[in-house]
Amino acid sequence: MLFYWLNLIGIFFFTISGSLAARDKKHYHDYFGVFFTGFLTAIGGGTLRDMMLGAFPISWLSDRNILLSILFAFAFTLLFKTYIVKLRRTLFLFDTVGVGIYTIIGVQKSLEHGVNPFAAVILGLITAVFGGVIRDTLINEIPLIFAREIYATACIAGAVLFTTLLYAQVDTNVAATISMSTIITIRILAVKYKLALPKFDTGTSDN
């Protein structure tokens, strides 16, 4: 039950993240454009995960609460957009919480379908970042997963921690809470202190 509600919360946050990102683009002032971007941000990663797992029907096609969560999040964004956009780094905060939740949801569902822990970590990463990739592509931005800042690495760290805690027979809910908090903390610290992985050096210099 905890994971079910976490999934709805993650969808809520990702819908807001996608809607706010679209709203910041002049050519996305249309309500449908904003909603569609938020919708794809919310369901993109989970849809790809379910297709790879062969988990049919896709979760949002069989559970109306997912669509209701998306609609509620969109309405929330419209009603309180004046206040939300004034908050510093609002998009970052919504995206960070969504990423933390979605990573663990993806790992847990993958393990439930008999996937080995290593593959479950990858599917957790896909669940967390693919919606954001779609969002950034739609609004003509470089996806965060390709940026230098720590993003996917935080998801992998949290996913590995979650599977390790489960292997150590830590209570699932406790393991999920610790792992999600770890992902969110790593992301916040990485942005605050401008932490990044080393840049790939091709050995050539730009002219």
* DSSP track, the chain: -HHHHHHHHHHHHHHHHHHHHHHTSGGG-SHHHHHHHHHHHHHHHHHHHHHHHT-SS-HHHH-HHHHHHHHHHHHHHHHHHHHHTTSTTHHHHHHHHHHHHHHHHHHHHHHHTT--HHHHHHHHHHHHHHHHHHHHHHTT---GGGSSBSSHHHHHHHHHHHHHHHHTT--HHHHHHHHHHHHHHHHHHHHHTT-BPPPPP-S----
The reply to whether 138 falls in a domain is yes
Question: Within a domain: residue 203?
Answer: no
Residue 201 maps to a domain: no
Is a pLDDT exceeding 60 seen at residue 205? no
- Residue 206 falls within a domain, yes or no? no
- Checking if the pLDDT of 48 tops 90, the result is yes
pLDDT tens, residue by residue, 7-46: 999 999 899 888 888 877 765 568 888 899 999 999 999 9
Q: Output 146 or 204, whichever has higher pLDDT.
A: 146
Residue 136, domain extent? 2-192
Give the total number of structural domains in the chain.
1
Please check whether residue 199 lies inside any domain of the structure: no
Is the pLDDT confidence value at 200 over 90? no
Give 202 or 28, the one with higher predicted confidence: 202
Q: What percent of the chain has pLDDT over 90?
A: 65
What does the pLDDT read at residue 162?
Answer: 98
Residue 38 lies in a domain: yes
Closest of 135, 66, 149 to residue 105, by C-alpha: 66
pTM, to two decimals: 0.89
Is 71 inside any structural domain? yes
